[in-house]
Amino acid sequence: MTRDPVDERLAELPDRALDPKTSARVRAAGRAAFVETRRARWQRLTATVALPAFLMTCAAAYGVQATVQLRDVYVASAAR
């Protein structure tokens, strides 16, 4: 297994308890990052699933409408 220099440096950091004020700030920053992550996840879901699904539905509706229109124009004129 290869040695990770970053992991080794992190292991060298001292283990000391945070004072309550710093702990509260870290906790608040973590919660803010979590909320931001959830918002980003929602935006990514919208961009990668909802928008393409909507566009595919519009394309399918356009294709059906175009097929019906072509059938009405050319099949009706051929029947005469």
Boundaries of every domain in the chain: 18-79
User: What pLDDT, on the 0 to 100 scale, is given for residue 32?
Assistant: 84
CA distance 80 to 69: 17
User: What pLDDT, on the 0 to 100 scale, is given for residue 55?
Assistant: 97
Q: What angle do CA 30, 31, 34 make, to 5 degrees?
A: 90
Q: What is the pTM of this model?
A: 0.49
pLDDT at 60 over 70: yes
Tokens of 64: 């059906």
CA distance 54 to 34: 29
Q: What is the mean pLDDT of residues 62-69?
A: 97
Contact status, residue 18 vs residue 26, Cβ threshold 8 Å: yes
Tokens of 11: 């292991």
What would the pLDDT profile of 3-47 be if each residue is shown by its tens digit? 888 888 888 888 888 889 998 998 998 888 878 787 888 888 888
